[in-house]
Structure 1
Amino acid sequence: MVSVTDIELADIFPGSSEMAQRMRETDWAGTALGDPTHWPDALRIPLKIMLTSRFEMWLGWGPDLHFFYNDAYIPTLGIKHPHMLGRPLKQVWAEVYDDVADQVARVRSGEATWNKALLLILERSGYPEETYHSFSYSPLFAGDDTVGGLLCVVTEETGRIISERRLETLRQLGLKLSTATDKPSLLTAVHSAFATNERDFPFAALRLEGEQTEPAWATAGLNDVTPDSHGLIVDLPSGIDWPTGAWDRRPTKAIAIAIPQFGAEQSAGTLFLGLNPYRGDDPDILNMAQLAASQIGAALAHIVALSNERRRADRIWSVSRDIMVVVDVEGRFVSVSPSWTRILGHAPEDVIGRHFSDFMHPDDVAPSNSALSRALSDQDLNNYENRFRAIDGTYHRIEWHTTLEHGQVYAYGRDVTDRRQVEAALNESEEQFRHLVQGVTDYAIYMLDLDGHVSSWNEGARRIKGYEPEEIMGQHFSQFYTEEDRANGEPVRALETARTEGRFLAEGWRVRKNGERFRASVVLDAIRDDEGRPIGFAKITRDVTEREISQRELEAAREALFQSQKMEAIGQLTGGVAHDFNNLLMAVMSSLDLLRKRLPDDPTLHRLLDNAKEGAQRGATLTQRMLAFARRQDLNLDCVDVVQLLSGMNDLVQRSIGPEWPISTRFPLKLPAVRADANQLEMALLNLIVNARDASPDGGPIVISATCEQVEKRSSRELAPGTYLRLAVKDSGTGMDAETLRRATEPFFTTKGVGKGTGLGLPMVHGMAKQLGGTFELQSAVRKGTSAILWLPIVGVEPVKVAPELPQVVPQAECRLKILVADDDALVLMNTVALLEDLGHDVVEAYSGRDALARFKEHQDIDLVITDQAMPNMTGTELIAAIDQVRAGMPAIIASGYGDDINLQGRDVERLGKPFDQAQLARAISRVMDR
C-alpha cells in the first residue's frame, strides 16, 4: 500500500525524469530546507514547472540558494552531477560566482536579469573550460512579497559561438590570402587572419620550405616536428614564453599541419597553431586546420605560378631571338630587348628615346608611319615587313607583329633577311625544279586549279594514267575516279578536305585511260599565296597495286599460320583426351572379356554383353579417330596400291550408299604406290565417300580421281618438296560457305543432324594425312559441290599385298610365366592383371616406373615385363632401359594408345596398342617369348 508521504512527494516532484526521481529519494528533512511537505507554493510550483520542462533550468531557494535542476541541465553540470543537488549556489559554481554575484544581488532585490552568450569558465569536466550561455535570472517571491529564491532558464551556446568564430577565421583567411602576391605578403595575410581569433588560436606561426619560420620565436621546440597533411596535436615545450592570445594563461598544446604543395608529393611548409588552453579534446579543430592549410597551399601555388610567369616573361624578353620593342604614339622607342643589339648591333641606350625612322631604310619610312597609325588605331599588324639599318651599315628585313596596350604599341620582329635570300634563290631554281618534277616517272605529279581542272602534267602522270598532256590539260581530275566513287561524291570531298584542312590523304581504286583499274595512294595539298589565299592544288599519285597484292598474300599467309596453330593446339588437346579415354575403354573391354567366361549360358545375358562390347568397340573407334586427328595413332605403314585398294572396296561401298550416288573413278594407266596404313586409308576414303553422299541429299555422281603431282618448294599446303599422289573425292552437292569450310576439319564440328555424325570423320582424315607426311584440303563453294583432296607421299617400291585379317583366337599359354606389369592407371592395371591371371600367369603389380624397377629387383624370377609407355617421372622405355642395367635382354612389351615411335638402341621390344583385348595380349606374349 502506498504511503501518504510517497503520494505527497510525487505531487511535489512530479514526473518520471531522472532528477524528479532523485529529488523524491533525497532526505530533505536533514537539510536546511526541511520537510518538502512544508515547502511553500512559491518553491513547489516553480519546481513542478522546471521538472516538467525540456528547457535547461535550475532553481535556487533560501538564503544560500540551494540548487535544484532538471534533466536538460545535467550536461551543463558535467562531473558535478548529481552530488550538487541541494548544495548552495556558491558551492555549485564557485569558479564563476563572482562573475554573476551582482546579478544574484539584483534578483534578491526583485529585479530580473538577462545575459546573451555570456562567457563563463566552468570546471564541469575536470578542468577550466570556455563556455557560453544565454540565461535569465527571475526572482521567486514568497508569500510575504519577499524574494525566496531565483529561477534560471538557460541555453548553452558554446558550440555555436565557437563554430561561428572559426568559420569567420577561415573567411578572413581566404579574403586576406586572395591579395597575397608573394611569400612576405602571404605570411602577413596568415598572421592577420589568425589574429582575429586569438581565443581559438593564441598564436599562429608559418614555416615555409627554404624560408625562416615566422615569427622567429616559433622555431623553439618545433623545428623537429614533421606532420603530414592530416595534422597532429603536439605538446608545447615548457620554459618558453608562448603568446597567450585572448587568455590569461599560456597554451600547452598546438596543431602542426603540413601545407600541401600542389603537383608535388612533398609539403610546401608547416603551419603551427597554438590551441585554446580552456578547451579540452576537440575533434573538429584538426578539420579546420586542414581547411586553413589547404587555403594557404592554394595561395602559395598561385604565388608560385605568378612568380614563374614573371620569370618566364623576363626570360622571354631577355633570351628571345626576336626583337621586342615598345613604341609610343610619336614613334619613339620606349624600350628595346637585348635581341636588338644581337641582331642590329646598337646598344639599347643608343636606341631608347629616338624615332624609329632614325634606323630605317629611307624608302620604308613613309609606309611605316602609315603602319604605325593603323597600329595606334587598335588594328594589329601581322607579318608587316620593313628594313632596319645595322651598326655595320647593312640592312636587315624585319617582319613585325604588333598589339596596342595603354596607348603604346608593343611589337616583336623577326629577322627574315636570310629567309628572303633563300626565297630568292628558290625563285631562281624554280625552273630547275620544274624540270626535276617533269623527270619523275614513278609518281604522277600534277597541279589542279581551284575547281579541280588539270593545269600541269609530269612524265610520271603520263606513264601511270596513260594520258598525253594535250589530252588531259584542262580536263577535270574526277575522270581518274571509278564510276561508283564519282557517284558517291569522292572527288568533291577530296577537294573540299584539302581546301579546309590543307591536305587530303587517301588510298583507293583509280582508272587509267584504257579503262584498267589500279590501286593508288593519293596526296592532295592545297597551294596558297603569300596572303594565305588558296590558288590551287598539288596532287601526287603513286601506283601501289603490287603492294596491295603482296599485302593480301601476307594476310592469307597469316591466316593460314593462325589456322595451323589453332589446329595444332586442338590436336594436342584431342590426343590427351583420347589417351585417357583409351585407358577407360581398356578397363571396360578387358572386364567384358573376363565376364563372358564367367556368365551362365543365358542368351539374354550374352546379348546384353555383346551390346556392351559393341559400344566399347565404337568408343575405341572414336578414340582412334581422335588419335588420327592428333597424329598420334598407331599406323602400320606399307606400300599401298590405291587403285587395288579402291577396287576391293568399290562394290561394298556402292551397295552401302545406294544407287542414287554412282561412284566413278578417273585414274591414269599406272599409279605409283603410296606410303600409308591400308586399313586407315580405306577408312578415310569411306568417310569421304559417305560425306559426299550426305552433301548430295537428292543424289548425284561421286567422282574419285588421282594424279601424280611434283612439289618443287614448300607451298602454302605445308608440303615438303617431293612427289605426291593427289587423291580427290568430288561431289556435286550443296557445297559449303567460307565459315563452314574454315571449320570443317575442327574436331566435333558437324553440319549433320543430332545423332548423325560425331564431327570426327574429316579431322581423322586430316590427322592421318599429316601423320603420313602429306596433307588434306577441302575445296568448296555454295551450290557448287565439294572436293576432298588427300596428298599422300609416293614411294618408289612395289606395293605389298595385304593379307586378309584372320579371326581373333585367344592362344593358350604354353607355360606359366611370372610377369611384372606396370601402369599408373589403377583401372587399366587391375584389368591387365585379371587378363593375365585368366591366361594362367603369375603377376607382380607396379603403379609407376620407379615402383616397377624396385619390384623387379626384389623378384629374381621375372620372365616378362609389360609396361605402359606414358607414365609420370619414368616412361616405359626408360623403365626397360633401367631394367637392362640390372638384367640385360629381359623380354618386354610396351603398351601405348599413342602412335609415337618406341625405340630402344639395340633392343627388341614388342609394341601393344591400347585398348587391347585378351587375344591381342596373349598373341603379343607369344611373339615376344618366341623371340
Structure 2
Amino acid sequence: MSNGIADIFPGTSEMARVMREHDWSATPLGPPAQWPEALKIPLRMLLTTRFEMWLGWGPDLHFFYNDAYIPTLGIKHPAMLGHPFREVWSEVYDEVAEQVEVVRKGESTWNKALLLLLERSGFPEETYHSFSYSPLHQADGAVGGLLCIVNEETARVIGERRLETLRQLGLSLAGVINLEGLRDAIAKTFAANQRDFPFVSLRLADDELGVGDGLFKQALSSLPAQFPEAGEIISLPVQGMWPMGEWDRPPEQAVAIAVPGVVGGSHAGHLLLALNPYRGSDQEVINIARLIAGQIGGSLANIMALQAERRRGDRVWSVSRDLMVIVDSNGVFRAVNPAWTRILGHSVDDVVGRPFSDFMHPDDLAASSDALAQALGAQELNNYENRFLATDGTYHSIQWHTTLEGGLVYAYGRDVTDRRLVEERLSVSEEQFRHLVQGVTDYAIYMLDLEGHVSSWNEGARRIKGYEPEEIIGQHFSRFYTDEDRASGEPARALETARSEGRFLAEGWRVRKNGERFRASVVIDAIRDDDGRPIGFAKITRDITEREKAQFELEVAREALFQSQKMEAIGQLTGGVAHDFNNLLMAVMSSLDLLRKRLPDDPMAQRLLNNAVEGAKRGATLTQRMLAFARRQELQVDRVDVPQLLSNMNDLVQRSIGPEWPISTHFPLKLPAVQADANQLEMALLNLIVNARDAAPSGGPIQISATCETLQSNAISDLPAGSYIRLVVKDRGAGMDANTLRRATEPFFTTKGVGKGTGLGLPMVHGMTQQIGGKFELLSKLGDGTSAVLWLPVASEPACEAVNSEPGNEPVQIRSLRIMAVDDDALVLMNTAALLEDMGHEVIDVNSGAAALDILKSRDDIDILITDQAMPNMTGVDLIVAIEKVRPSMPAIIASGYGEGVAVPGREIVRLSKPFNQMQLAEAIAEAVN
C-alpha cells in the first residue's frame, strides 16, 4: 500500500480498506492519484466521520460511502462501490432525480423522513430517511459531485405510527356502549393507519357480525384452528382479493390473534390484522397486536356489562316494589311502573298523561312544585317527601329520589308511611361495583387484609401480574416486589404509610408470575369501618412499562424538533389556558363592577373591593402575557421609533433598577422605524432590562444596541427575507448553561426565587415578536453574560396618526336597546346580561350560536348582537355570517380574549376584548349602533 493511497483513503474503517483495495483504474474515475482535491477532501471527511454519509462524483455520480451507511445499503454492499448513483438506488432514483438536478446547479436540498422503498434486503422495504444533498465544487467553481448526509428514521416513524394507532383506538373505545359503536371505533382507527395494517377483520365469538367479516371467509384456509392469545403470523392465500390499504400491492401476511374474554370465560372473538407488505419479517408487530386485542376485549367486556345492566334495569322497572315515574317539565306523568297500582291503587293508564297535582295532598302542592323546578334545574333530590292520594281515600307518604336526563325527571319513590327510613340497597351497589372492578383490565385492583394478604383479584390483576385467583388469594402481596425491595422492607413500609396517612403512592419495579419485571404505578388506600378503625387495604396497580418506554421515545423525538416547533405547541396550550382564564376573570371583574354600585359607603368594604379589582387586573395582565406568548393578543401595530421609545422610558427605567446598573445605548444615526405595538414593545424591553439587572445582582452595565439588517431567504430560521432592526439588550451577568438557555422561553420556567417571577416575561417577548413577524433569540454562555436579541420588521410606509381619546369614567349613555347576548360559558353570559340590564337594556341571553340564530330568524325586534367567539359547533364569526343572510348589517359585537381569527368577511364589526368592564361594554355598544 502506497502512502498516497493511504492519504486518499485514510483510517482503519472497513470502507477505507475496501476503497484502498478497489481497482479504480477500471472505472471512469481512473487512478486515485489523478483525482482532484475537490474529491479527495470530502472523501477523507466521509471515511473519518461516524455520521452516515455517501458521496457521488463525476457526471454519473460514482458512489462512495462510509461504514455508517453499510446497514442502509444492505445486500448491495460492497458490490455497488464506485457504481453510478442511478444503478445503486435504481428503485428510487426517479423520486430524487429532480433533487439531483438541483444539486448540479449548485443548490442544496433537504428531506425530512422521506418514504423510500429500498431493495436492500432482497425485497422492497418501507424506509424513512432524513437527508440533505449538497454540491461538491471543483477548483473552477463547477459542480463535480454530490455529498449526502443521511439519518435513517424508519424505526422512529413506524414506532410512532403504531403508538398513535394504540392511542387513538383507546380514545375511540373509551365511550363505546354498544357493538355498533365498537365496529365504528375500530374501522375509524384503522382507516387512519393503512400502512401498518392494510385491513382489519374482527369476528365476535357469539357469531354477531364484527368488522370486515367477509375477509375471514377468504382467509379460512390459512387460519389456525385455535386463535392464540399470544398471536400468530400467518400467510394469506394468494388468490384472495385483499384490500391494499395505502400500498400498491396486497398484503401477504396477517396476525391472527384471539380477543380475550372475561376471566375464566372463552375468547370474546378473533382478530385478523393484515401486515405491511413492505416490512418483511417484523415480530414486534405481535406485541402491538396483543395490545390492540386487549383493548378490544376490554371494550367488549364493558359492552356486555352495560347490556346486562340495562336488562336488569328493565326487570327492575317491572318488578320493583318502589314507585318509579318519569315526569316532564309541566309536571305531567309520562310513565309510571306497576308498583303505582299495588301501592296507591290507581291503574297505570289512569295515571299516565295526568299532572302529579291531581294526586297530591293540597298542603304539599306548592312545595312539590318548587321541588320539581329544582329537579328540572339538574339539582338531584334525595329523600324528598310528600303525600299522594290512594284510591281508598288515604294519603301515603312517599320519599323521592330524582335525576334529570333529556329534559325529563326520572324518580323513584318509596312508601315510608309505616317505615320512614330508606332501606339500604348495599347488595345491589356491591354487585355493580364488583362488575365494574372485575371488568377493568388495564388496572390490577384487589384487596389486602391488615397483614397484606390478597383477598380479592380482578381481571386486570390476572392480566398484568399473571396469577390466577386461586393461585394468589391468601398469599402475601410482597411476592410482587423485587428481591431488593423485599430486602429493604419496602412492602411493610408501604402498608404502614397507607395505615398512618390513609394512602400510599409510588412508582417502581414489580415482578410478574413468570419472573419478568415491569414498571408499575401503585396506589394503596386504607379501608376503615364506621368507627375509623382500619380493616384492610385497597390496592390498585397499573402497568406503565409501555407508557414510560413510549414517553422516553417521545422525549428523544421531541428533543430533535426545532425550538420554534416546541414553543408553538406550548403556545397553543398557553393560549387555551389564557382564554379560559379570561372567561373566569370576565365573571369576576363584571361582578365586582356591579357590586361596587351596591356596596354601602364603608371605607373598609371599598378598600377590600379595590383590592379584589386590583387582583383581577393583575390576573388580566397575566393572561395578556400568556396570550402574547401564544401570539393571540390584540396588537395595535404602528410605526415605532425605537430610539425615541427608549429615550422616553430611559429615566424611569434607570431610576427603577438603580444606579448600580447603568444603561447605555448605541444606535446608528439613521435607524428606520419598526412595525410593532409600542406598548407591547415597551413592556418587552422593560422585561429584558429587569432580567439583565437580576442576572448581575452585584451591578454592572446594561448595553442596548441596534443595527439595521437585510436578510435573504432562510438566512435565519423562521424569518422571511426582508429588512429588520436587530435590537440587543446585553448584560454582564453570570450567563446561562445550555439546559437553562433551552428552557428560558418556556412559560412559567424561571430561575428566580419563589414569588420573584412568574416565568412569563420571556415567553411574552417571544410571542409578541413572532406575532408582528419578527423573532426573539437568547445568546448566552456561562461566565459571559446574556444577549437578548429582538428581530423587528422595518416599517414600510408611515401610518396615519390615530386620534387619541381618553376614556371616561362613566359608561357612554345611549338609549335603551333590546340586546341578544350569546356565550357558551354560563358565568360570563350571566354577568354580561347583568351588566347590560344594569345599564337599562333588555337582554335576551342565549348559550349557543345555533339557538341564537333560531331566535333571530323568528324575531326582528332585536337591536344588536353581542357574541362570544370561541363556542362549540358555531363560532361568533360563523353566527354573524349566518345572521347576515337574515338581518343584513345588523349591529354586532364580538367579545374575545384572542386578537386573531375574529374578522368577518365583507363587513366591519366591533371588537370587545375580554375581560371587559361596564364602561368598555357601553363604549362598544355605542360604537356598534352609531
TM-score class, shorter: 0.3 to 0.5
State TM-score, norm by structure 2: 0.42
Compute the TM-score of the two structures, normalised by the length of structure 1: 0.42
The higher radius of gyration belongs to 1
